[in-house]
Structure 1
Amino acid sequence: MVQLKHFHVVECKVVEEIVLMENLGEEEITPKVLFPRLECLKLNDLPMLKRFCIGSNINFPSLTVLHIEKCPILKSFIASSGIMVRQEIKEMDIDDHTAMHPLFNEEVAFPSLGVLEISYMDNLQIIWPNDFAVDSFCKLEIMKVEFCEKLISIFQSNILTRFQSLETLTLTNCGLLQEVFELQGLDFKETHAVTTIQLKVLLLINLPKMKHVWNKDPQGFFSFQHLEVINAVGCHNLKSLFPASMAKSLMQLENLGIFDCGLEEIVAGEEGEKAIARFRFPQVTVLLLIDLPGLKWFYPGVHTSEWPMLREMCMFGCEKVETLASGLSSFQETLQEGQLNISIQQPFFLVEEAVFPNLETLRLMNNQSIKEIWHGKLLGECFCKLKVLEVIICSNKSFSLSSFLQKLDSLEKLVLINSFLEEIFTYEEILQLGKHARILTQLKELKLSQLPMLTHLWKEDIEPSSIFQNLETLELSQCGKLKALVPSAVSFQNLTNMEVSECHGLIYLVTSTAAKSLVQLKKLSVSGCKRIIEIVASEGGEVNDVINFCKLAYLKLENLPNLTNFCSGSYSFEFPSLEEVIVEQCPEMKIFSHGVKSTPKLQRVKTTDEDEWHGKLDLNTTVHLVWEYTMTMPFVQSNVYIMYFTHFQYKYFLASTKS
């Protein structure tokens, strides 16, 4: 066993002890080395295991990985022998049900241990003793504790100095855990050298009773300045994350994510603090605040915060946040105007200068109480690089994005979902900007969904905007009052993908003039629009007027009960790149269009999920055969819009057209 490097004991239902030690009655003075070359030890699913062994002064000199899982009655890894005999230890096992035993004690040393994983230890209450063997746990870098329902604490202040090498700490599903770092016993009056903990990643998941990560400000005793990633999930009793002094020292923090927690503030207020608190997070790139119904502000006192490297920010389900950001001077002016603190909701961020100069993605979801995104004069500077804006479930009717959008010169993607917005832009403000106003000139992707009050994307009598010139993707769904997409004068010269669904106010999709600008369109999908009669509306064009969808490869028309054809006018259409057409549940569509000239690449016309037409039929013939067969089938009622073709029936129709 001297050469053993990996030792795994798994699913042994009756094992009570791993190693049976000899000479129990003798006190060990010199360290006893077990498995001198052992590097990895795993104990898994051992329901009767009480201990690894009995002994004293035992050393595992080479052990780097220790994994203990599903050992529910394991009390101490090494049971101290002293002068007791084995029978006395057995009696202690039987009688001692209530005493709290640390999993590790001073009788065992792990001088090389780098990874410790403990999970499904149903009766574990304490991990560490008040004292350690010399050099034990000094090299521990990764620690994971999961599903230890009775565990009440992780680190006490008197042992924390031993864990200076710890870099990753993961705590998951420990139902009674109330704090991670128990510092209440520290005497802050004593002068003391600051101990730097190397912790970089802290993951706290499903800890419903946890009240504090640090139950006292570690300032003056411990520094956690190397933290890079902090994620807290399902910590419903947690009211704040950081003590104020600690938040000011997080110079390496890169990722902060808080999900489904009871937080009221990110940084706890300092007692007696009257000066303006200043927070700077120079390395944070991602800030995710999701499902935090009690969150009110970043810090309860007057403060400023700077986020120079922040690239992605998401706020989801933070109903008590009314204003995302405001300039500090603007907020102070509001207070000086006689409005009491009690009657005013502090913005989540208070800033003095351009604090989001690199922010590229901003997602605001389920923030039903947000009245405005920004209050102040620094808007253009603070969001100068914003590329993606998603606003979801903002049902407050007074909510307005117009002034905010006008400042976003770099915006490439705009998503608005589930709002009572009647218009995206306040056109009175646009008119004041003059004829040459340039709004969202870089926008490439526009997605609008569940906007039941929206009547138009752009007003007919307002001069066409550059907003649509670079648009590549347009997706609209459940916008019931939308009568027309855009005026005829609007050009979609760079649009490649258009998807429209459940917009029941539409009679047609685009005018013939707008259709001529769709020279880059590759995919077109229209579905579930009950009133739509045609896709391209005629504007009186002549027979020789040609509309060329030169790059359209995919066309889908589905569940359009009133659609009669692609276009009722006399235009000629060319589809040189069209490869796939899907026509489903369009019972009034007798032919595709009167003026289809060519579809040289068309390989497939689909009418249901099962039917694929691979023949060389043209679009008009195919669509008409589908309509004719549907109308003649005795079991198809007028209110059922289903087209069904078996393989045999398809062959029959194909043969009849050739004859």
Structure 2
Amino acid sequence: MSEAIGIENKEKVDFHSSNHLKLFSSNLLRLVQSLEELEVSDCGSLEVVFDVKIMDDREMQGRKTSQLKRLALSRLPNLKHIWNRDLPEILSFKNLQVTKITQCQSLKHLFSVSLCQDLQQLQDLVIMSCGIEEIVAVEGEGLEELKFYFPRLTIFRLHFLMRFKRFYPGRHYLECPSLKTLDVFGCEGLEIFSFTHLDSRQTLMVGEDDMPIQQALFSLEKVSSNLKDLALNEKDSIEILNGHYEANLFHSLEVLGLQCFQETPVMLLNRFLEKFPNIKTLGVRYSSFKVFFPSNEAGYCGFRSPNQIKKLGLQKMEQLEQIWNDDSLTDVLEELIVLDCPSLTSLGPPSIAFTSLTSLQVMYCKRLTFLMTGSTAKTLVHLKQLWIRNCGMMEVVVMINEGTPEEIKFESLEYLEMTFLPSLKSFCSGKHTFVFPSLEMLKVRGCPRMQNFSSGVIIAPTITMEVENETRHCAEDFNTTIKQLAMEQNQESL
């Protein structure tokens, strides 16, 4: 099998779609001497990547070192083992830096205890949508107390591991002194943090001596000092809020993700963000808030938007109706992403201003009928990129009430995309003049009701315009180009 794919002396191999049960079997040691990157995907029958069991006595003489630095395995539904035999006296993977495993539902364990001792260079560990129960499997009999030390691990990401309960079944220390990103989501059986003032061994569910122990992944105080990117669920957030920790516990944190908030009282959340004085990016997903900034009404999130937050992302917020109901807390925001918020009807009040915003993305918000008012549009002097996708009820992007036509200038806008908006009629509802001095690309697709860009005057340089599958170069007269391409598209569909 190994010779068939011709990898000898190659540094990188991407292997896709095969019916083999084992990927590397014969001449394993010789083949991995030069291999630095391995990617395997969409092999429905694959059960073992490195078949160490069949190595003969000659191959097992002396310990060899693999040059493998990056291992990526994805969509391997029957994969049971990466290595099907322990390797300490045969093969070292001490050069491994990146391990990414996704959609391997039959894989229960990732590493052996002895292999972990080799992983001193490991920097990224990402596991998503797998059947993993423990990252490190038990060796031999009994569950001795162990220490796992990953001095260079900076990114630790675990998503949708429904069976995952613990890092290792026995008592252990887990130390990652360089950890910068900790993102755990959809791992309901895992206790992420120990909130004692000692170490993570304090949070244990102990059975018999040889039975698995439920232990928290990390001690909060030991892992928090260097973190720059952290995702928190509702339970851990309340523990942090109520704990008596040092004021600068999260002084290095710049990116904070909040997820699955369903019952947290308003006042607790107002106090919670005070624990993170230096965050610049805030993301919230799968939570039940109705309005974000700010409110004193029961049932609302009630955050007071910290003036240092430059990027805000909202995703899968089923009940979110409005992001702001105050127009004075958006001065420093540079990037806003709103994804899959089906109840959203407006970003904020008609007078809301985004004077620092450079990027705006709004997708899958089916109740939005317009994105902004003319008053808000005038404040977007720094906006460079605007994406609007899959908003089924949106009729116009800029809503303008009847009155004297004015000029609205998007001074910095370079890219504008409006795609899969079945109700969209035009960019603007009024006859205002729109000026786009920096626009380079306009993309319109899946907008069958759109017959023109605007009823007013359009001033712009020569740009690239992509309408449906046609690309044209046009200057100023967007309306003519859109109408022409729309007519051509309708004729083709007859």
TM-score, scaled to structure 1: 0.52
Per-residue deviation, 1:618: 2.9
* Residue identity matched to 2:437: P
Specify which of 451, 461, 471 is matched with residue 317 of structure 2. 451
Q: Could you give the per-residue CA deviations for residues 312-367 of structure 1, whole angstroms, max 9, x where no partner exists? A: 4454663422x4323234999997xxx9868xx95642316242433344579xxx
Matched, 1:530 2:392: yes
What corresponds to 1:40 in structure 2? Answer: none
* Residue identity matched to 1:469: D
Matched, 1:507 2:366: no
What corresponds to 1:99 in structure 2? Answer: none
What corresponds to 2:470 in structure 1? Answer: 610
- Counterpart CA distance in 1 for 2:387 and 2:151 is 45
* Residue identity matched to 2:412: K
Q: Could you give the per-residue CA deviations for residues 1-22 of structure 1, whole angstroms, max 9, x where no partner exists? A: xxxxxxxxxxxxxxxxxxxxxx
Secondary structure in 1 aligned to 2:218? Answer: strand
Kept in 2: contact 1:414–1:447 (CA 8 A): yes
Matched, 1:168 2:30: no
Specify which of 119, 122, 134 is matched with residue 264 of structure 1. 134
Per-residue deviation, 1:297: 2.0
- Counterpart CA distance in 2 for 1:550 and 1:202 is 44
What corresponds to 1:296 in structure 2? Answer: 165
**Structure 1 residues 396 and 491, CA gap change in structure 2 (3 angstroms):** closer
What corresponds to 2:192 in structure 1? Answer: 324
What corresponds to 1:487 in structure 2? Answer: 349
What corresponds to 1:567 in structure 2? Answer: 428
Structure showing greater Rg: 1
Specify which of 367, 372, 377 is matched with residue 235 of structure 2. 372
Kept in 1: contact 2:416–2:442 (CA 8 A): yes
Matches within 5 A, 1:569-584: 569=430, 571-583=432-444
Kept in 1: contact 2:143–2:170 (CA 8 A): no
Per-residue deviation, 1:239: 4.7
Kept in 2: contact 1:492–1:514 (CA 8 A): yes
* Residue identity matched to 2:165: K
**Structure 1 residues 228 and 570, CA gap change in structure 2 (3 angstroms):** closer
Specify which of 385, 392, 403 is matched with residue 252 of structure 2. 385
Kept in 2: contact 1:510–1:536 (CA 8 A): yes
- Counterpart CA distance in 1 for 2:112 and 2:435 is 64
Kept in 1: contact 2:419–2:446 (CA 8 A): yes
What corresponds to 2:43 in structure 1? Answer: none
What corresponds to 2:408 in structure 1? Answer: 547
What corresponds to 2:210 in structure 1? Answer: none
What corresponds to 2:80 in structure 1? Answer: 208
* Residue identity matched to 2:151: P
* Residue identity matched to 2:62: F
* Residue identity matched to 2:53: I
What corresponds to 2:42 in structure 1? Answer: none
Per-residue deviation, 1:428: 6.5
**Structure 1 residues 423 and 406, CA gap change in structure 2 (3 angstroms):** farther
**Structure 1 residues 379 and 550, CA gap change in structure 2 (3 angstroms):** farther
- Counterpart CA distance in 1 for 2:98 and 2:414 is 46
Q: Could you give the per-residue CA deviations for residues 574-608 of structure 1, whole angstroms, max 9, x where no partner exists? A: 22233444455656556543443x51414455544
What corresponds to 2:111 in structure 1? Answer: 241
**Structure 1 residues 235 and 382, CA gap change in structure 2 (3 angstroms):** farther
Specify which of 454, 459, 465 is matched with residue 599 of structure 1. 459
Per-residue deviation, 1:570: 5.8
Kept in 1: contact 2:134–2:166 (CA 8 A): yes
Kept in 2: contact 1:578–1:599 (CA 8 A): no
Kept in 2: contact 1:261–1:291 (CA 8 A): no
Kept in 2: contact 1:287–1:310 (CA 8 A): yes
Matched, 1:308 2:177: yes
Per-residue deviation, 1:622: 5.2
**Structure 1 residues 577 and 226, CA gap change in structure 2 (3 angstroms):** closer
- Counterpart CA distance in 1 for 2:479 and 2:82 is 68
- Counterpart CA distance in 2 for 1:267 and 1:380 is 38
What corresponds to 2:308 in structure 1? Answer: 441
- Counterpart CA distance in 1 for 2:442 and 2:467 is 9
Secondary structure in 1 aligned to 2:470? Answer: coil
What corresponds to 2:53 in structure 1? Answer: 152
Matches within 5 A, 1:389-428: 397=262, 407-414=275-282, 419-423=286-290, 425=292
- Counterpart CA distance in 1 for 2:3 and 2:111 is 34
- Counterpart CA distance in 2 for 1:302 and 1:151 is 29
Secondary structure in 2 aligned to 1:491? Answer: coil
Secondary structure in 2 aligned to 1:513? Answer: helix
**Structure 1 residues 291 and 624, CA gap change in structure 2 (3 angstroms):** closer
Per-residue deviation, 1:413: 4.5
Q: Could you give the per-residue CA deviations for residues 625-656 of structure 1, whole angstroms, max 9, x where no partner exists? A: 778x69xxxxxxxxxxx54589xxxxxxxxxx
Per-residue deviation, 1:498: 2.4
Aligned-residue Cα RMSD (Å) equals: 5.5
**Larger mean Cα displacement after TM superposition, 396-405 or 520-529:** 396-405
Kept in 2: contact 1:280–1:307 (CA 8 A): yes
* Residue identity matched to 1:372: K
RCO (CA 8 Å, sep 6+): is it higher in 1 or 2?
2
- Counterpart CA distance in 2 for 1:622 and 1:143 is 53
Secondary structure in 1 aligned to 2:336? Answer: strand
- Counterpart CA distance in 2 for 1:305 and 1:524 is 43
Per-residue deviation, 1:553: 3.1
Kept in 2: contact 1:416–1:449 (CA 8 A): yes
Per-residue deviation, 1:212: 7.4
* Residue identity matched to 1:295: F
Per-residue deviation, 1:455: 1.5
Kept in 1: contact 2:287–2:318 (CA 8 A): yes
Matches within 5 A, 1:171-182: none
Structure 2, unmatched stretches of 5+, are 10-22, 39-45, 208-212
- Counterpart CA distance in 2 for 1:360 and 1:416 is 16
Kept in 2: contact 1:231–1:257 (CA 8 A): yes
Per-residue deviation, 1:549: 1.0
Secondary structure in 2 aligned to 1:514? Answer: helix
Structure 1, unmatched stretches of 5+, are 1-42, 46-63, 66-117, 129-136, 171-200, 365-369, 631-641, 647-659
Specify which of 206, 216, 219 is matched with residue 351 of structure 1. 219
Specify which of 265, 285, 293 is matched with residue 154 of structure 2. 285
Q: Could you give the per-residue CA deviations for residues 469-490 of structure 1, whole angstroms, max 9, x where no partner exists? A: 3433333343221010123453
- Counterpart CA distance in 2 for 1:515 and 1:575 is 12
* Residue identity matched to 2:252: K
Aligned residues: 444
TM-score, scaled to structure 2: 0.66
Kept in 1: contact 2:155–2:181 (CA 8 A): yes
